[in-house]
Amino acid sequence: ERPRVLVTGGAGYVGSHVCKALSAAGFLPVVFDNLSRGHRRAVRWGPLEVGDIRDPAALARVLTRHRPVGALHFAAFAYVGESVENPLSYYDNNVAGTLTLLNALTLFKVRALVFSSTCAIFGQPGTPVISEDLPKNPINPYGRTKLMVEAALTDAGEAGDLRWVALRYFNAAGSDPDLEVGEDHDPEPHLIPRVLMAARGRVGALDIFGSDYPTPDGTCLRDYVHVCDLADAHVAALNRLLDGGASGVFNLGAERPISVLEVIAAAERVTGLGVPVRQADRRPGDPPKLVADSARARSELDFRPRFAAIEEMVEHAWRWQQTNA
């Protein structure tokens, strides 16, 4: 019997790719997901328990049934724009939900937790690349909810209740190259899938949110990191905790700044299609530049992105869209 791990939000985009990697590494991922954003068909490597992290009784049932050796926590709302429009639902799900989960894990003596965090906790630091210890001044509610959870984890860890790793993703992108799972948001706000949908004529012209940023081509720079590379980092983080390693925070990116226009150009090369575009206003909450310094993850989690080129991420996302349209 393989060791079981609880994966909240395991029916979602990053969570489902992590389940595949966990299974390949010898674990049995037990997905706990309310399916509000995730998909039943994305749960392929272990059981699905439908439930909400804000429901202590549902958590207790699942923890009693499966007795996991550790947990990975993805269940959260994760759209910057939506968090600006509807902040209280973000605080409720991301903060209150996580506290309910942490209480349940403590009760059941699950003491190893990998948490899905984000570069949005930094806001816009004044340095070209972002290392772990820079000041955290999130500029949107989404980032604030994730920073609050990191604070709770830090304090719980110091009180001796928990060992944890927070992985701060920059821009998760791409899809499983085997096409077993992929990116399926509805609505889909993320740049790469939207660019590909625009290329296929599904969404009209792609809005470019701001062309007057203080960047070389005027559009925002992001650090796109392949979801399968993120998945490998989660397995490494879990193994570190199960081997008795210390708690910690890690920034995960491919460490390359890519502009909105560069994503569009990559999509045109990969698809051979033109992407219709339209200049639009800046989107509230968007910082001009977010690029990771992942040196700590490279040295402590052996983080070595296999798919660091934007073309590979766009190519895998494109294959997924073509087979799952």
- By beta carbon distance, the residue nearest ligand UDP is 220
Burial of 254 (0-12, 13-18, 19+ CB in 10 A): buried
Alpha-carbon distance 113 to 248, whole Å? 11
- Nearer to ligand UDP (CB atom), residue 31 or residue 260: 260
Alpha-carbon distance 129 to 75, whole Å? 28
Q: Does 121 bind ligand UDP (CB under 6 A)?
A: no
Site size toward ligand UDP, by CB under 6 A: 15
The pair of structure tokens assigned to 178 is: 């085997």
Closest distance between ligand UDP and the C-beta of residue 316, in Å?
16
Instruction: For residue 30, give the H/E element and its range.
Output: strand 28-33
To the query of whether residue 79 is one of the catalytic residues in this protein, the response is: no
User: Which one from 13, 142, 169, 213 is the annotated catalytic residue?
Assistant: 142
Q: Does 189 bind ligand UDP (CB under 6 A)?
A: yes
Q: Contact with ligand UDP (CB under 6 A): which of 114, 208, 233, 238?
A: 208
Q: Which of 175, 176, 149 lies closest to 162, judged by CA?
A: 149
- Nearer to ligand UDP (CB atom), residue 55 or residue 286: 286
Binding mask 157-176 for ligand UDP (x = CB under 6 A): --------------x-----
Cα-based angle 33, 35, 37 (whole degrees, multiple of 5): 110
- Nearer to ligand UDP (CB atom), residue 246 or residue 280: 280
DSSP three-state, residue 136: coil
State the amino acid at position 176 in one-letter form: D
DSSP strands (E only) in 119-227? 163-169, 171-173, 206-209, 221-222, 224-226
CB 237 within 8 A of CB 74: no
Which of these segments, 56-64, 190-198, 225-233, 300-308, binds ligand UDP (CB under 6 A)?
190-198
Q: Contact with ligand UDP (CB under 6 A): which of 55, 180, 207, 311?
A: 207
Q: Does 199 bind ligand UDP (CB under 6 A)?
A: no
Which of these segments, 12-20, 203-211, 248-256, 309-317, binds ligand UDP (CB under 6 A)?
203-211
CB 256 within 8 A of CB 305: no
Alpha-carbon distance 200 to 35, whole Å? 28
Q: Does 284 bind ligand UDP (CB under 6 A)?
A: no
Alpha-carbon distance 73 to 265, whole Å? 34
Q: What is the footprint of ligand UDP within residues 64-93 (CB under 6 A)?
A: 80
Binding mask 251-280 for ligand UDP (x = CB under 6 A): ---------x--------------------
- Binding-site ranges for ligand UDP (CB under 6 A): 80, 171, 189-191, 194, 206-209, 220, 222, 260, 283, 286
Q: Which residues are catalytic?
A: 142
